[in-house]
């Protein structure tokens, strides 16, 4: 090859190497190419004037191999450059495809990013606006307007006692409850008594009293949770139990969405936990489901509610800590139970009674009702005309009903314009109008009197802690044929009263020596009321003797007691209520079985309590001169 051809060949190689180097710089970038040349120990080769050195550097850069050291001859250089050219072509094609893919990926990412931003914006707008629309916002505005509108305080709330000192007629019951609740070791309590005597009011105020004592465990924020036993509904499958709490499974019972999505059961706490540290008051606990009562007893013992669910997995890391706590340790339920009932203690679960102290509220007397009406009138800002309070006391023994009668009479007085002339005055006519409109009848239709009558005596009955006076009468006629007389008795009074008649007939023969079969005898309980128990035995015997012997009986006395075939007076129940009922009826003396004296009140104002052990003890006092006893 001559010199000119050699020069042209070298020039061609120079251009070829320069072109490939330019392409390589575009692929890697000039700065990166210089760094790469430094790492491959090719930087000096790139700056060399020898074409062979630059080809070697190019070869190292393309193959990324610093171990290539062989110099290429001019003939070999052409082949090497062609191979490098093919390699770079493949590299450029690959890079082009990658760039196109990256552009597509970038475009997709940009599109997704814009969608995501749009979704976030919609979510923020939805959270700010909520699920409301124009219609729902209108309903919300209407509710807000209703909230701003209110009437004055209801009369029942206004006239309810605000302090324990204002509770009328229950001094002993209030003291008994306070001693059991206001203690370092408060007890569960059962309150017995008729409706409308203040059981619920006293329970509320008793907790406030206990909070003021430093030695009680109640804090100032101790809760008072109130519930009615008649309205407590629960599912034996524990699907729902508002008293003790229940578990909502994530599939069928509607656990919260975030819990349902993870198949996590949701415990719902009950009223016993809400009352933790305070008082749970259950009114009319005698009406509560017996099974639910037993479950409540378990909580009283453990002071904790245990939750169970087949959906609970203790090893599930997705379950919140509070749910783990409820399923492993349960919910705290350390409270004092105060339960009220109008039922007799014999109708209450013995297991519940054994865990509770018992407090008995007395029926209200007429004087108590008078005091309640006068106090309520003061809270209403009204003046009572003489006789208004006493008139209300004739038609009710419930404090709640007495205040309701007063509220109605207050409305009548307003209607007739009594407030236009100064302080409003409620008159007897106002109260009479209320009584007539409500079609009420006197609570004590049978009244005692200072007279004497033949064949009539007052007995005593009780129903639901409310005592009443029973009018028992008897008439006797000689039978048409000796020994063939008949004894009649109204069946509506009950089988127990009929047994008392037959017992009295046997005792009559034993005392007088006469055959009752020689008389046609008719015994009647006026009003046809059912007598639950044999407590009318003594009264029926006295009425029979009075009718047969024509002996008058004082009408200001009353007697109760079962009579045995040997004439002994046996104890009966409900003596407290019976004595208060006798007082309501104006009775001055009450004869009771001697064996009942241990359970009787020490004194009842206006009523003399006389114990009798044998029927003769009673007969000697009502027939002092003409006692019909055989020798």
**Residues taking part in catalysis:** 535, 578
Distance (Å, rounded) from C-alpha 303 to C-alpha 330? 10
Burial class (CB in 10 A: 0-12, 13-18, 19+), 541: buried
Long-range Cβ contact pairs of 619-625 (< 8 A, separation 24 or more): 619/511, 619/542, 619/545, 621/591, 622/542, 622/553, 622/554, 622/557, 623/545, 623/551
Distance (Å, rounded) from C-alpha 616 to C-alpha 41? 139
Distance (Å, rounded) from C-alpha 565 to C-alpha 546? 19
Q: Give, in order, the Cα–Cα distances in Å from 546 to each of 352, 541, 590.
A: 47, 9, 18
Distance (Å, rounded) from C-alpha 49 to C-alpha 86? 25
Helical packing angle, 171-181 and 199-211, nearest 10° = 40
> Contact at 8 Å (CB) between 333 and 299?
yes
Instruction: Outline where DSSP puts E strands in 196-311.
Output: 224-228, 245-248, 266-269, 279-283, 304-305
Phi-psi bin for 233: left (phi > 0), alpha (psi -120 to 50), beta? beta
Report which DSSP code applies to 342. Answer: S
To which residue do tokens 């059962």 refer? 190
Task: State the pairing for strand pair 336-341/189-192.
Answer: parallel
Q: What are phi and psi of 319, to 5 degrees?
A: -80, 130
């Amino acid at each position: 090859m001559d010199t000119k051809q050699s020069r042209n060949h070298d020039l061609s190689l120079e251009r070829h190497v320069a072109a490939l180097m330019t392409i390589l710089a575009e692929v890697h970038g000039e700065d990166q190419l210089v760094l790469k040349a430094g790492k491959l120990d090719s930087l000096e080769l790139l700056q060399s004037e020898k074409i062979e050195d630059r080809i070697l550097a190019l070869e190292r850069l393309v193959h990324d191999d610093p171990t290539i050291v062989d110099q290429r001859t001019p003939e070999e250089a052409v082949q090497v450059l062609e191979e490098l050219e093919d390699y770079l072509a493949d590299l450029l094609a690959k890079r082009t495809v990658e760039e196109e893919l990256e552009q597509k990926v970038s475009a997709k990412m940009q599109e997704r990013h814009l969608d995501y931003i749009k979704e976030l914006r919609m979510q923020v707008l939805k959270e700010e606006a909520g699920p409301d629309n124009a219609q729902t916002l209108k309903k919300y505005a209407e509710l807000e307007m209703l909230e701003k509108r209110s009437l004055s305080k209801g009369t029942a709330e206004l006239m309810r006692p605000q302090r324990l000192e204002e509770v009328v007629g229950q001094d002993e019951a209030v003291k008994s409850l306070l001693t059991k609740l206001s203690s370092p070791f408060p007890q569960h309590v059962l309150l017995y008594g008729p409706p409308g005597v203040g059981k619920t009011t006293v329970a509320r105020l008793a907790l406030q009293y206990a909070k003021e004592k430093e030695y009680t465990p109640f804090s100032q924020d101790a809760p008072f949770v109130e519930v009615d036993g008649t309205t407590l509904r629960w599912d034996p499958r524990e699907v729902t139990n508002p008293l003790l709490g229940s578990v909502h499974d994530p599939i069928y019972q509607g656990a919260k969405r975030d819990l349902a999505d993870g198949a996590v059961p949701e415990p719902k706490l009950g009223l016993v936990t809400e009352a933790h540290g305070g008082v749970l008051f259950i009114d009319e606990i005698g009406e509560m489901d017996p099974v639910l009562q037993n479950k409540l007893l378990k909580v009283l013992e453990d002071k904790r509610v245990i939750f169970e669910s087949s959906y609970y997995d203790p090893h599930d890391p997705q379950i919140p800590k509070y749910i783990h706590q409820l399923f492993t340790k349960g919910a705290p339920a350390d409270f004092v139970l105060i339960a009220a009932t109008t039922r007799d203690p014999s109708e209450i679960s013995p297991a519940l009674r054994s865990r509770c102290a018992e407090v008995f509220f007395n029926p209200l007397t007429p004087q108590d009702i008078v005091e309640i009406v006068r106090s309520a009138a003061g809270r209403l800002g009204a003046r009572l005309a003489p006789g208004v309070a006493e008139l209300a006391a004739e038609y009710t023994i419930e404090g709640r009903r007495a205040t309701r009668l007063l509220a109605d009479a207050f409305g009548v007085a307003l209607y007739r314009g009594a407030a236009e002339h100064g302080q409003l005055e409620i008159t007897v006519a106002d109260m009479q109008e209320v009584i007539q409109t409500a079609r009420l009848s006197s609570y004590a239709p049978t009244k005692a009197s200072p007279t004497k009558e033949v064949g009539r005596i007052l007995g005593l009955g009780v129903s639901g802690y409310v005592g009443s006076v029973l009018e028992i009468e008897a008439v006797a006629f000689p039978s048409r044929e000796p020994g063939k007389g008949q004894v009649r008795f109204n069946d509506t009074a009950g089988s127990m009263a009929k047994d008392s008649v037959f017992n009295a007939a046997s005792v009559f023969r034993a005392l007088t020596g006469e055959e009752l079969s020689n008389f046609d005898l008719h015994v009647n309980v006026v009003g046809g009321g059912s007598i639950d128990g044999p407590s009318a035995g003594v009264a029926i015997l006295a009425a029979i003797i009075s009718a047969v012997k024509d002996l008058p009986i004082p009408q200001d006395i009353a007697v109760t007691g079962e009579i045995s075939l040997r004439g002994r007076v046996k104890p009966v129940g409900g003596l407290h209520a019976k004595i208060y009922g006798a007082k309501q009826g104006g009775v001055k003396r009450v004869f009771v079985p001697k064996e009942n004296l241990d359970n009787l009140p020490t004194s009842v104002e206006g009523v003399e309590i006389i114990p009798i052990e044998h029927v003769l003890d009673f007969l000697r006092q009502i027939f002092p001169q003409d006692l019909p006893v055989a020798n």
